[in-house]
Amino acid sequence: MHHFHYVEKKLHCEGVALETLARKFGTPLYVYSQRTLAEHFQKLDRAMAPVDHLVCFAVKSNSNLAVLRTLADEGSGFDIVSGGELARVIAAGGDARKCVFAGVGKTTSEIEFALRRGVYSFNVESEAELQRINAVAGRLKKIAPVALRVNPNVDAHTHAKITTGTYENKFGIAFEQVEAIYARAAKLKNLRLRGVQMHIGSQLTSVAPFEQAVRKVLPLVQRLQAKYALEFFSIGGGLGIVYDPALASGAANWWQTKAAKNILTPQKYATRLLPLLRPLGLKILMEPGRFISGNAGVLVTRVEYVKRTGKKNFLIVDAAMNDLIRPAFYDAHHEILPLTQKSGAIISSDVVGPICESGDYFCKDRPLPKLGEGDHLALLSAGAYGFVMASNYNTRPLAAEVLVNGRKAAGVRRRQTVKEILADEKIAPWAK
Ligand code: LLP
């Protein structure tokens, strides 16, 4: 569910017409719904209420300070993967003691920073990393809380680029090696073994792979718990969202349709996993990113040109793959809606950006209303892995971001300028 709806033919985010925002802030423009963010967090938090738990929002999915603040105010913890993300959480007013630090390549300075700030746990992805954390902690005279990331070797049946829990992936420690590494870690003086972590992939649309992974890892967790007095078990993120029919199906009762009945909800997730997790008596951590932020954001863009070739109708818009790379990178589907609802002719169209690559498209052969220069479109479900994956490719400035709360809207990131892009570069001193 989300709060992007047509009101009198105008697409709104909560109580604000997106066209008003496009005029005021320009395009391309990311717009986030605060209410959607908070409600998604609350849904998962409530579903997991029967166990001691902490929802740690995956900062990588959307790291805008205003988004992080919204979640911190809801009581969220954070899953971070760099010193930069920890700095963001702190700048947003979040609590470092509710942060879990993941990632296969933590540097010494990142480990130092996280130790000084007192993160809840380092989710460790190799024995070499364990040694390094122990050494850094020793130098700082601190005890580092750690959890090993178990790779359960379970196929998540998701896109190859976002599968993480099989031995084909670089992530985690092979299931069979985990116990021996805990035993060696227990001998390292500056570590405290605090938990166990796993994450099998992203955009999972059924609960079965989660259940399979939890069932597989559970006996191991119990053995480790008995030996090392662990405190938590993190079951990772990965809850998928609906990218497809939602609003565009036009069905006001979309949530009662057959497609909707099959989707993965926090209730289904909790109903299947809680009976397995509850007997452990451990604190359960989750690291959802997309589930919370995905449908809470849209990318608004403007049609610059309409171009008809022999075969195709191209809508050339002012957003591009540098703003939202998911269609180019993962063949991802993003629903596309005009900001002003149109009736009449439907034309099969490709929505493409101005970048000089054929991969720079948002959709191909999509039935869309007849649109012309100056019309605005919204790319839905762009709140996760949207702005955070943006780049300056083709020297295109990063888009602006806006947060909406009811009838209020605030710019939460100013549009970058070309001057800012050039500011850090210089000509080599020996140039003629
Ligand atoms: N925890 C760990 C250890 C992760 O690696 C990830 C995502 C998450 C949590 C959050 O996953 P989520 O709940 O958002 O599915 N850029 C890709 C997704 C990459 C996901 C990377 N890891 C996309 O646009 O689909």
Residue 164 CB less than 6 A away from ligand 1: yes
> What percentage of the chain's residues is helix, strand, coil (to nearest 5)?
35, 25, 40
Indicate whether 284 and 300 sit together in one domain: no
With both helix axes pointing from N to C terminus, report the angle between 108-117 and 83-91 in degrees, rounded to the nearest 10: 30
Ligand 1 centre to CA of 164 (Å) is 9
Nearest CA to ligand 1 atom 16: 385
What mean pLDDT comes out for the span 360-386? 97
Indicate whether 310 and 280 sit together in one domain: no
The residue ranking higher by pLDDT, 280 or 255, is 280
Residue 149 CB less than 6 A away from ligand 1: no
Ligand 1 centre to CA of 266 (Å) is 17
Indicate whether 318 and 300 sit together in one domain: yes
* Residue to mutate (ligand 1; options 202, 207, 269; most atoms within 8 A of CB): 202
Distance CA(3)–CA(19), nearest Å, equals 16
Indicate whether 377 and 273 sit together in one domain: no
User: DSSP class of residue 271?
Assistant: H
For the chain, what is the mean pLDDT?
94
Which of residues 289, 309, 340 is at a domain's end?
289
Give the global pTM.
Answer: 0.96
Ligand 1 centre to CA of 199 (Å) is 9
Q: What is the pLDDT of residue 366?
A: 97
Indicate whether 328 belongs to any domain: yes
Which of residues 227, 256, 289 is at a domain's end?
289
pLDDT tens-digit map of 4-38: 999 999 999 999 999 999 999 999 999 999 999 99
269 burial level (CB within 10 Å; 0-12, 13-18, 19+):
buried
Nearest CA to ligand 1 atom 9: 237
- Determine which of 55-69, 186-200, 238-252, 295-309 has the lowest per-residue pLDDT on average: 238-252
Kindly tell me if the per-residue pLDDT of 316 is higher than 90.
Answer: yes
Kindly tell me if the per-residue pLDDT of 161 is higher than 80.
Answer: no
Q: What is the pLDDT of residue 2?
A: 92
Distance CA(166)–CA(163), nearest Å, equals 7
Band of pLDDT at residue 169, cut at 50, 70 and 90: confident
User: DSSP class of residue 348?
Assistant: E
Band of pLDDT at residue 54, cut at 50, 70 and 90: very high
Indicate whether 191 and 276 sit together in one domain: yes
Express as a percent the part of the chain with pLDDT over 90: 89
Report CA-CA distances (Å) from 229 to 100, 197, 234, 372. Answer: 19, 15, 15, 64
Indicate whether 237 and 308 sit together in one domain: no
313 three-class SS = strand
Band of pLDDT at residue 331, cut at 50, 70 and 90: very high
Q: What is the pLDDT of residue 1?
A: 77
Residue 125 CB less than 6 A away from ligand 1: no
Residue 102 CB less than 6 A away from ligand 1: yes
Kindly tell me if the per-residue pLDDT of 254 is higher than 90.
Answer: no
Band of pLDDT at residue 263, cut at 50, 70 and 90: confident
Which of residues 229, 260, 289 is at a domain's end?
289
Nearest-atom number in ligand 1 for the CA of 389 is 16
Indicate whether 285 and 365 sit together in one domain: no
Nearest CA to ligand 1 atom 23: 385
- Those residues whose C-beta lies under 8 Å from the C-beta of residue 91, and which sit 6 or more positions away, are 65
Contact between 353 and 362 (Cβ < 8 Å): yes
355 three-class SS = coil
User: DSSP class of residue 415?
Assistant: P
Q: Which two tokens stand for residue 4?
A: 């992007």
Q: How many CB atoms lie within 10 A of CB 313?
A: 17
Indicate whether 324 and 355 sit together in one domain: yes
Band of pLDDT at residue 245, cut at 50, 70 and 90: low
Distance CA(168)–CA(74), nearest Å, equals 37
What mean pLDDT comes out for the span 308-313? 92
Domain limits for position 222: 34-289
Residue 362 identity: F
Residue 383 CB less than 6 A away from ligand 1: no
What mean pLDDT comes out for the span 182-195? 98
Indicate whether 363 belongs to any domain: yes
Residue 328 CB less than 6 A away from ligand 1: no
Residue spans of beta strands (DSSP E) within 108-205:
121-124, 144-151, 173-174, 191-198
pLDDT tens-digit map of 82-133: 999 999 999 999 999 999 999 999 999 999 999 999 999 999 999 999 999 9
CA–centroid distance for 246 within its chain? 19
Nearest-atom number in ligand 1 for the CA of 236 is 1
Ligand 1 centre to CA of 61 (Å) is 7
Kindly tell me if the per-residue pLDDT of 249 is higher than 80.
Answer: no
Residue 351 CB less than 6 A away from ligand 1: no
Band of pLDDT at residue 238, cut at 50, 70 and 90: very high
Q: Which of 13, 56, 99, 356 is catalytic?
A: 356
**The domain spanning residue 362 has which CATH number?**
2.40.37.10
The residue ranking higher by pLDDT, 161 or 267, is 267
Indicate whether 135 belongs to any domain: yes
Q: What is the pLDDT of residue 261?
A: 65
Rg value, the chain, Cα: 23
Distance CA(310)–CA(387), nearest Å, equals 34
Q: What is the pLDDT of residue 159?
A: 73
What mean pLDDT comes out for the span 386-411? 98
Residue 165 CB less than 6 A away from ligand 1: no
User: DSSP class of residue 166?
Assistant: S
Nearest CA to ligand 1 atom 24: 385
Indicate whether 145 belongs to any domain: yes
Band of pLDDT at residue 248, cut at 50, 70 and 90: very low
Nearest-atom number in ligand 1 for the CA of 287 is 9
Kindly tell me if the per-residue pLDDT of 157 is higher than 90.
Answer: no
Band of pLDDT at residue 246, cut at 50, 70 and 90: very low
Q: Could you confirm whether 13 is annotated as catalytic?
A: no
Distance CA(284)–CA(65), nearest Å, equals 26
DSSP string, 62-129: ---HHHHHHHHHHT-EEEE-SHHHHHHHHHTT--GGGEEE--TT--HHHHHHHHHHT-SEEEE-SHHH
β-sheet bridge partners, residue 308: 313
Indicate whether 131 belongs to any domain: yes
Q: What is the pLDDT of residue 247?
A: 44
Indicate whether 20 belongs to any domain: no
Kindly tell me if the per-residue pLDDT of 162 is higher than 90.
Answer: no
**To which H or E segment does residue 46 belong?**
helix 34-47
The residue ranking higher by pLDDT, 270 or 261, is 270
Indicate whether 98 and 201 sit together in one domain: yes
142 three-class SS = coil
Ligand 1 centre to CA of 212 (Å) is 19
Indicate whether 277 and 302 sit together in one domain: no
Indicate whether 230 belongs to any domain: yes
Q: What is the pLDDT of residue 272?
A: 96
Indicate whether 272 and 314 sit together in one domain: no
Q: What is the pLDDT of residue 255?
A: 52
Kindly tell me if the per-residue pLDDT of 356 is higher than 80.
Answer: yes
Q: What is the pLDDT of residue 229?
A: 94
**The domain spanning residue 229 has which CATH number?**
3.20.20.10
Q: Number of folded domains in the chain?
A: 2
Indicate whether 261 and 368 sit together in one domain: no
Residue 236 CB less than 6 A away from ligand 1: yes
Indicate whether 29 belongs to any domain: no
